[in-house]
Structure 1
């Protein structure tokens, strides 16, 4: 893989890296810093990447390792686990979808880290169970179990009992499905 190919492939994965970083750190500025550090490390170590292998998985592994390194460094920082300080900085959403998203963010942040990580890799980032297991350095069955437990915990936390409990409400569905009469 030439430097140009590597660069273009690296750039194409940035949105996925940013989404994963956001799920890990929960703040856009810290997620951007984490992605930037990942890209710098990847570019620095590009000669160790084997062309034809999974670049996206390689980058996610670098990002994950960098995240853990930063967590170890931040042990002495003041944490805000209840979100009290963050709640004072935010405004109340005006639409139901925004409220649902806030509930989801709170619920997903309450998951154990290993379950949240597995769910984000498989559910949001599109990795297969096998790829997620490789990124996390564990067995496929472990990833499947973590994803299953995470989904069950989210359903319990969000009090979801069926498919109709989430997504657009009846009014929004009606508007989306409305077709104007032919003229």
Structure 2
């Protein structure tokens, strides 16, 4: 093979590799832009700490970048990212046990300066009561309410039957309603 053909073949191969990298980077940037708010919101609900939530999301993005080629169906990207995030959250407990003081944790997710005092109070009560739900009920509810997943998608993410997910969502809502009603009764002096 003449030297000029070898150089042009090598140049073409290099251009193709660079084109693939640019395409991968574009796909990745689109994923981040489309799903960042949902991922952060879900991570925050899992750990109740804005800094840890940011770390979990960053670890999720790192793993997503490394494994972006395994994402074949772009429509499954959100579920794929949430699965990675759930696994990253589980890994943090494998690495290190954190000392949580629920009373000291402040909820910085919502800018309370923009909310009325009553709305801020209601949001705090809702978060407090949701935190009391068992994880088996809380997790599907958060995935539906915060991330907007359907029952089918939640079932796939949690490796559960759709009927199980629907039952857990129903029970989570009932338990949450009961907790909120008992709080309201206590606050109004009915108990």
The two structures have a TM-score, normalised by structure 2, of: 0.73
**1:26 matched to 2:45:** no
SS in 1 for 2:73: coil
SS in 2 for 1:138: coil
**1:135 matched to 2:157:** yes
Residue in 1 aligned with 2:100?
A: 79
**1:118 matched to 2:140:** yes
Q: How many residues align?
A: 154
CA distance in 1 between counterparts of 2:137 and 2:94 reads 19
SS in 2 for 1:159: helix
**1:78 shift after superposition:** 2.8
Cα distance change of structure 1 residues 60 and 159 upon mapping to structure 2, 3 Å threshold: same
Question: Deviation string for 1:86-125 (max 9, x for gaps)?
Answer: 37xxxxx970111111101100111111211100111221
Cα distance change of structure 1 residues 30 and 111 upon mapping to structure 2, 3 Å threshold: same
**1:28 shift after superposition:** 1.2
CA distance in 2 between counterparts of 1:51 and 1:6 reads 14
Higher share of residues assigned helix? 2
Conserved? CA contact 2:151–2:165, under 8 Å? yes
CA distance in 1 between counterparts of 2:96 and 2:167 reads 29
Single out whichever of 109-118 and 47-56 deviates more from structure 2: 47-56
> Any gaps of 5 or more consecutive residues in structure 2?
1-19, 107-114, 185-191
> Any gaps of 5 or more consecutive residues in structure 1?
88-92, 166-183
SS in 1 for 2:173: helix
